[in-house]
């Protein structure tokens, strides 16, 4: 049971807590009442604010809408004013641009093009909005004037700065040192950079806005003239510097070398002026290719792509036609030379033709895209040159065969005939152009003429498909044919000589000259391609003519034979008839020896080796026979005046023979 005191204490604690709780409850009630009052006040305020806000909204919205409308109206007014200013500016364009247009684009191209752009916009405006207005005609006229001045500026700058390329630069561009491993490509600058950029800019504007292609005609006319003048300047350079014209020649320095040979001597009467003309033409051909390539590179920067090939075709025509005309003139000169039977003059076309054929690949690349008539000009010239060259070769061969036997034209001393030296000289000069001459013959399909067997790989309707080996065989056979014709003609000419010995000397000299010339100039190797025994054949002919010549001495040595000499014993007295026989033999020998030595001293054997050999052989035969004869007659008394008959000692006979073929003796 809890003590009373403790219960009282707990009760007091509980009562205190209850009293506190009641006080808290009372405070909460008072707070709630205040909160209700505040809430009611806030609701009243919010209700009043909402009412006022609605009133404000009802007042502001109409004002806002009115303000918005006013702003829109203001913007429309501004736009209208701006548009009016813009439109009005079109009416002032003609006046504003008048001074700039009149003064032209020179020196201020960018400003001028900007001015033209304003005029162009004015034209477009009036065309779209007021096509019947006089202002349209005004700005149109101003635009056309501006375009006209731009075209004039294009022509002016192009003409002013386009100059012929100096010959020295051209020679640098086409020459070069082929011994160098790395060859520098010489760039040809046709226009200053500033002028070029202006011309490109004007060209672009004329293409896009000018709608006029006349400037392209202007371009090709101006540049065509400069191209032609550049080549003519090079030609004039050669004429003026003929003394120092031994420049690096593309006729010699080529990518594809001809078969190397010894240097052939100059042809008879070869004119140095003609040499210069040939060298000049060869250089001009190379110059055309290089300059045309350079012109095309320049043209691609200025002319629209779809007009480039046509413009280039027109640009090169004048220079190309002049080169082709000059080539035709060379052909005509060769044709006239053939008619005069001056075949050496035809050799002028060989270096030219060789160079044309070697340059043709570059020509073909350069002329890509041009008209067929343009591309065919060089092949046509090459064909004409090959035709006239082949004709010259054939007629030359025929002329060697048919050269008339004129007695007054025969060498009195039996030396080498002019026909022989000229024929060999002509053939020697072909060595420098073996591929050219062989292809020339092949181009005329002359294989059937010479019965050259064709390799199946060489059979083709196209002459250009003949292999170089076939061409070489063809040239070999041609040279052999010329030599055969020459031999036949020489045999006929020799008949003019009444003296068989002189006839033999003449043929010997000519055959020997032919053989030595073949060996020295390497013609022998070329002929041996198809006729391997040509050397031995000539040696046989030479030996045969030596034997024919030696027969002339039989009328001397026949007096020294034992025939008709009577048999006798030493000391035996001879009969008158027997003494006369011996006298006649001495007399016949002496007179024959004197006559032959007198006649043959004036004959010629130019080859010292041959001359010495013939003399030595003759000395041996005559001296041995004479010594034997003298020995047989040594103890015979056939005359009281032996010195009258025994005129010459053997040594004297040998000395006389040593003076054969020596007019100075």
- Each residue of 611-650: pLDDT tens digit? 999 999 999 999 999 998 888 877 777 777 778 888 889 9
The contacts of residue 206 (CB under 8 Å, 6+ apart) are: 147, 150, 151, 154, 212, 215
Determine whether 218 is exposed, middle or buried from the number of CB atoms within 10 Å of its CB (0-12, 13-18, 19+). Answer: middle
Q: What percent of the chain has pLDDT over 90?
A: 48
199-210: average pLDDT: 86
> Cα Rg for the chain, rounded, in angstroms?
57
Lowest mean per-residue pLDDT among 7-21, 527-541, 564-578, 624-638: 564-578
Rounded CA separation 417/493 (Å): 10
Q: In the Cβ-directed half-sphere of 196, how many Cα atoms lie within 13 Å?
A: 10
Tokens of 310: 């046509």
Whether 125 and 90 have beta carbons less than 8 Å apart is answered as yes
Mean pLDDT for the chain overall: 82
CA distances to 74, 81, 84, 106 from 78, in Å: 6, 5, 10, 40
Rounded CA separation 191/295 (Å): 11
Count of other CB atoms within 10 angstroms of residue 482: 23
Rounded CA separation 319/36 (Å): 116
pLDDT bucket at 183, cuts 50 / 70 / 90: very low
pLDDT at 248: 44
313-318: average pLDDT: 96
pLDDT at 276: 82
- Classified as helix, coil or strand, 259 is coil
pLDDT at 615: 93
pLDDT at 258: 41
Tell me: the pLDDT tens digits for 482-507? 999 999 999 999 999 999 999 999 99
Rounded CA separation 596/594 (Å): 6
pLDDT bucket at 242, cuts 50 / 70 / 90: low
Tell me: the pLDDT tens digits for 84-110? 544 555 565 655 666 777 777 877 788
Sign of the four-CA dihedral 390, 391, 396, 398: positive
Tell me: the pLDDT tens digits for 428-482? 999 989 999 999 898 875 444 444 444 434 434 344 445 788 889 999 999 999 9
DSSP state at residue 467: -
Rounded CA separation 273/239 (Å): 9
pLDDT bucket at 571, cuts 50 / 70 / 90: low
Determine whether 174 is exposed, middle or buried from the number of CB atoms within 10 Å of its CB (0-12, 13-18, 19+). Answer: buried
pLDDT at 255: 37
Q: What percent of the chain has pLDDT over 70?
A: 83
């Amino acid at each position: 049971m809890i003590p009373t005191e403790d219960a009282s204490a707990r009760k007091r604690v509980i009562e205190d807590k209850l009293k506190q709780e009641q006080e808290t409850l009372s405070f909460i009630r008072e707070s709630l009442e205040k909160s209700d009052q505040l809430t009611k006040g806030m609701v009243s305020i919010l209700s009043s604010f909402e009412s006022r806000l609605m009133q404000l909204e009802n007042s502001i919205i109409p004002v806002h809408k009115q303000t918005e409308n006013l702003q829109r109206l203001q913007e429309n007014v501004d736009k209208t004013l701006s548009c009016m200013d813009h439109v009005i500016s079109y009416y002032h364009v003609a006046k504003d641009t008048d001074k700039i247009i009149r003064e032209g684009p020179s020196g201020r191209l960018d400003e001028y093009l900007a001015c033209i752009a304003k005029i162009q916009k004015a034209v477009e405006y009036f065309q779209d909005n007021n096509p019947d207005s006089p202002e349209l005609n005004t700005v149109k006229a101003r635009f056309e004037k501006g375009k006209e001045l731009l075209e004039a500026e294009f022509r002016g700058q192009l003409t002013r700065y386009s100059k012929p390329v100096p010959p020295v630069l051209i020679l640098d561009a086409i020459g070069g040192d082929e011994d160098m491993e790395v060859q520098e490509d010489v760039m040809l600058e046709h226009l200053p950079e500033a002028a070029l950029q202006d011309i490109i800019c004007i060209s672009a504007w004329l293409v896009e806005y000018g709608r006029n292609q006349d400037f392209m005609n202007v371009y090709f006319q101006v540049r065509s003239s400069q191209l032609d003048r550049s080549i003519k300047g090079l030609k004039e350079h050669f004429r003026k510097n003929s003394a120092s014209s031994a420049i690096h020649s593309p006729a010699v320095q080529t990518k594809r070398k001809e078969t190397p040979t010894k240097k052939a001597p100059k042809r008879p009467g070869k004119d140095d002026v003609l040499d210069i003309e040939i060298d000049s033409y060869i250089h001009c051909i190379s110059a055309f290719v290089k300059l045309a390539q350079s012109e095309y590179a320049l043209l691609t920067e200025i002319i629209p792509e779809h007009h480039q090939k046509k413009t280039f075709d027109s640009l090169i025509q004048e220079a190309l036609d002049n080169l082709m005309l000059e080539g035709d003139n060379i052909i005509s000169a060769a044709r006239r030379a053939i008619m005069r039977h001056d075949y050496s003059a035809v050799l002028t076309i060989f270096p030219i033709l060789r160079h044309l054929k070697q340059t043709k690949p570059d020509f073909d690349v350069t002329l890509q895209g041009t008209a067929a008539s343009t591309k065919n000009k060089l092949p046509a010239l090459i064909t004409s040159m090959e035709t006239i060259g082949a004709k010259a070769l054939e007629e030359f061969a025929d002329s060697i065969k048919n050269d008339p036997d004129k007695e007054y034209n025969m060498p009195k001393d039996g030396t080498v005939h002019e026909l022989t030296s000229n024929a060999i000289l002509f053939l020697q000069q072909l060595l420098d152009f073996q591929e050219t001459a062989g292809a020339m013959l092949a181009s005329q399909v002359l294989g059937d003429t010479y019965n050259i067997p064709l390799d199946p790989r060489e059979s083709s309707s196209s002459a250009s498909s003949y292999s170089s080996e076939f061409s070489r065989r063809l040239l070999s056979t041609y040279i052999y044919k010329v030599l055969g014709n020459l031999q036949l003609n020489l045999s006929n000419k020799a008949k003019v000589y009444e003296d068989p010995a002189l006839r033999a000397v003449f043929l010997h000299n000519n055959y020997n000259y032919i053989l030595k010339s073949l060996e020295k100039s390497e013609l022998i190797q070329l002929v041996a391609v198809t006729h391997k025994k040509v050397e031995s054949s000539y040696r046989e002919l030479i030996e045969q003519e030596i034997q024919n010549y030696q027969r002339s001495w039989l009328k001397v040595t026949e007096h020294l034979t034992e025939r008709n000499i009577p048999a006798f014993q030493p000391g035996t007295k001879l009969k008158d008839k027997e003494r006369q026989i011996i006298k006649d033999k001495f007399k016949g020998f002496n007179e024959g020896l004197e006559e032959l030595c007198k006649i043959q001293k004036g004959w010629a054997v130019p080859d010292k080796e041959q001359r010495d050999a013939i003399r030595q052989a003759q000395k041996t035969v005559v001296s041995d026979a004479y010594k034997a004869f003298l020995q047989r007659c040594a103890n015979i008394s056939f005359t009281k005046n032996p010195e009258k008959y025994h005129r010459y000692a053997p040594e004297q006979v040998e000395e006389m023979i040593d003076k054969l073929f020596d007019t100075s003796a």
